[in-house]
Amino acid sequence: MRRLDHFSLMAVLFLVVMMSPQISFAIGKEAPLVAADPIIEARMLRLSEDLRCLVCQNESIAESRADFSNDLRREIREQIKANKTDEEILEFMVERYGDFVLYDPPLKATTFFLWFGPLFLLVIGSIVLMFILKRRRIQVEEVPELSETERKQAEALMSLEEIENIKTDVSLEKTDVDLSVENNTEKEVLSGKDKGNKE
């Protein structure tokens, strides 16, 4: 019996916790989210999604729980009931709160940079990028041609380096095939040299 009481107490507590959001809504003056007429409500929501809540500026009137948004939702509902067109309702809002209330502001002299600023920056960025790439290509092309003797010198140096690299590799392995490997590489180096001469 005692255990059952304990259980029912827990159940009641659980329910209270689960329901607390609803309770707080009831205490805060939350306007009913759904009006009697679902068609009006759908139109109101569509309109208010494009309107900024000026109190909580990164939310739309449709999302916001601020009192301000409640009032404006009520206003929109009433205007829909009064057979106002969407344009008239948006015009009503702009007259009172300015273009800032619209998430999709009209193209005007004052909003010119808002609309074309990013495009402007993109164009400048592309020009700068083209300029840099062009300069880099010139730098690459401008590498001075080697004369025949310089080329031979360079190749000799590089092949020396190769041989030395291989030597160190092989000596690290410490095997008996040292010599054969060295011979092979020397042949390769020689044939490489031949190629270089032919070119």
Partner 1 sequence: MMRFMLPLVAFLVMAIFLFAGLSLNPRQVPSPLIDKPAPEFTMQQLHNPEMILDSKDNLGKVWLLNVWASWCVACRDEHPLLVQVANAGIVPVYGLNYKDERDTAIQWLRQFGDPYTVSVVDPEGRVGIDYGVYGVPETYVIDKQGIIRHKQIGPVTVKSLQEKILPLVKELQRKS
Contact 151, 196 (CB under 8 A): yes
> Which C-beta is closer to partner 1: that of 70 or that of 185?
70
Give 60: exposed, middle or buried? Use CB within 10 Å, 0-12, 13-18, 19+.
middle
Is residue 100 part of the contact set for partner 1 (CB under 8 A)?
A: yes
Q: How many residues bind partner 1 (CB under 8 A)?
A: 15
Member of 61, 72, 80, 189 binding partner 1 (CB under 8 A): 72
User: Which residue in 67, 87, 92, 76 sits closest to 43, CA to CA?
Assistant: 76
Is residue 97 part of the contact set for partner 1 (CB under 8 A)?
A: yes
Q: Give the other-Cβ count within 10 Å of 188's Cβ.
A: 14
Contact 62, 49 (CB under 8 A): yes
Is residue 91 part of the contact set for partner 1 (CB under 8 A)?
A: no
Residues 44-63 that bind partner 1 (CB under 8 A): 54-55, 57
> Which C-beta is closer to partner 1: that of 67 or that of 194?
67
Is residue 111 part of the contact set for partner 1 (CB under 8 A)?
A: no
Member of 94, 102, 163, 166 binding partner 1 (CB under 8 A): 94
Contact 102, 52 (CB under 8 A): yes
Binding part of the chain for partner 1, among 14-22, 36-44, 97-105, 190-198 by CB under 8 A, reads 97-105
Member of 49, 67, 161, 178 binding partner 1 (CB under 8 A): 67
> Which C-beta is closer to partner 1: that of 55 or that of 146?
55
C-alpha distances out from residue 92 to 54, 98, 161, Å: 15, 10, 82
Is residue 104 part of the contact set for partner 1 (CB under 8 A)?
A: no
Binding part of the chain for partner 1, among 8-16, 18-26, 90-98, 150-158 by CB under 8 A, reads 90-98
Contact 155, 196 (CB under 8 A): yes
Residue type, 84: K
